[in-house]
Amino acid sequence: MTDTSKTTGAKVEPLRKARPCPECGKPSVRDHYPFCSDRCRTLDLSRWLNGSYAIPVADDEAKADGEER
């Protein structure tokens, strides 16, 4: 039997490239991806929950949806 707990010199590749944090621009951290910290992640979540972020809807689409019902 071989001991699989020992490494054979294999390099661990990250799953994703490090990208800048969308809040502050620092490099992202794996635990909080795509953010750099829990603080930046929480700030972004609170903006979504407060309605600061919104997905724009074209007037034509809104009228078309209302007519179909």
Q: Per the omega criterion (within 30 degrees of 0), is the bond before 56 cis? A: no
pLDDT at 67: 60
Phi, psi of 39 (to 5 degrees): -60, -50
Check residue 11 and give its pLDDT: 78
Q: pTM of the full predicted structure?
A: 0.57
Token look-up 């010199």 returns 9
In this predicted structure, what is the pLDDT of residue 4? Answer: 56
* Domains of the chain, residue spans: 17-55
Superfamily designation of domain 17-55: Erythroid Transcription Factor GATA-1, subunit A (3.30.50.10)
Question: DSSP assignment of 35-68, as one string?
Answer: SSSHHHHHHHHHHHHHT-S-----HHHHHHHHHH
pLDDT in tens, 8-61: 677 776 677 778 999 999 999 888 999 999 999 999 999 999 999 888 888 775
Of 17, 48, 46, which is closest to residue 34 (Cα–Cα)? 17
Three-state SS at 47: helix
